[in-house]
Amino acid sequence: MRLRVPSFAKINWMLEVLGARPDGYHEVRTVLQTIDLTDVLDVERTEGEIEVLCAHPDVPGGEANLVFRAAHLLRRAKGVKAGARIRIEKRIPVAAGLGGGSSNAAVALLTLARLWEVALEVGEQLELGCALGSDVPFFLLGGTALGIGRGDEVYPLPEVRADLLVLANPGFPISTAWAYRQLTKRGIVGNISVCSRVWYRAVREGEPPPLSEIVVGNAFEGIVRERHPELARGLDRMRELGAVVVGLSGSGPTIFGVFESEDPAIRAEVAFATLGWWRARTQTVSRRQYWERLSAALSDEASRP
């Protein structure tokens, strides 16, 4: 039995770091969004061990791969004897603030539960997801969501719809651990009041905030702008090219711009291509679309030989 399942990327509409926690993690407040940029997990049930294969040079094999850890965790939790061969087709840039590894882990849990024929209640999904990483639970929800705690406690928000989203990144990775260390060195000053104001109204009215107000800051932007002036120029350039709002996803280096019409979005894509940056024109994926596409792939008889 074999399934091919999409694994979506995310961006952060906002990300505040509120302080260090006794457990060594940071307390964050973030608004996450699934977007239409995917890796593909090709998962085959075997009677052997767990194998994870990925041709991307920056994605580790074996135990360091989050997919491998997800598979082992599920196998142990459910006492499964079967194995799996998992091929990851990487299209989401790695260590880019787009959550690729976490998304892969969440999708691996769902796909393997299916192929190994084990029931995985929502509560169990969340528990395994939290054990794998802070962003994994979000990918078990999708759409627009608030993440608090380590970012692993997720709640649905009114869905933001942006049909013209341009992503760009200069091609070097930024380690999230490095970014947190820089924040700690400088003393973290979280300011959530803007976010609260924007989203309080949205939640009360059941409508997302207007796109022009959707980006309300990213705690990492200052340090990233300082350390990587080309990213600061990229953010400014995206705005000059006509984006209504621009933002940094996670701890970067991926930046995004929301556009209201197609021509400037195309021009922005071309401008970043000319700079030699990785870029993509994409759109948001709502919770409903997320689950429709995942469910279709998970129950796709056609992909079962």
3-state secondary structure of 193: helix
Shortest Å, Cβ 301 to ligand ATP? 27
Angle at CA 255, nearest 5°, toward 251 and 259? 145
**Residue 10: active-site member:** yes
Q: Burial-class residue 192 by CB neighbours within 10 Å (0-12, 13-18, 19+).
A: middle
Is residue 71 within 8 Å of 86, Cβ to Cβ?
yes
Q: Please tell me the distance from the alpha carbon of residue 55 to that of residue 57, in angstroms, as a whole number.
A: 6
What is the footprint of ligand ATP within residues 145-184 (CB under 6 A)? 176
Is residue 2 within 8 Å of 43, Cβ to Cβ?
yes
Q: Is the CB of 102 or the CB of 284 nearer to ligand ATP?
A: 102
Contacts with ligand ATP, 117-136, as mask; x by CB under 6 A? ------------------x-
Select the residue interacting with ligand ATP from 28, 66, 166, 215 (CB under 6 A).
Answer: 66
Residues 6+ apart with CB under 8 A from 81: none
**Residue 135: active-site member:** yes
Shortest Å, Cβ 246 to ligand ATP? 18
Exactly one of 10, 36, 39, 152 is catalytic; name it: 10
The first and second tokens of residue 120, run together, are 């995985």
Q: Is the CB of 99 or the CB of 170 nearer to ligand ATP?
A: 99
Mark the segment that binds ligand ATP (CB under 6 A) among 60-68, 180-188, 191-199, 210-218: 60-68
Shortest Å, Cβ 188 to ligand ATP? 17
Select the residue interacting with ligand ATP from 1, 20, 40, 94 (CB under 6 A).
Answer: 94
Q: Please tell me the distance from the alpha carbon of residue 279 to that of residue 73, in angstroms, as a whole number.
A: 34
Binding site for ligand ATP (CB under 6 A): 58-60, 64-67, 88, 94-102, 104, 135, 176, 250
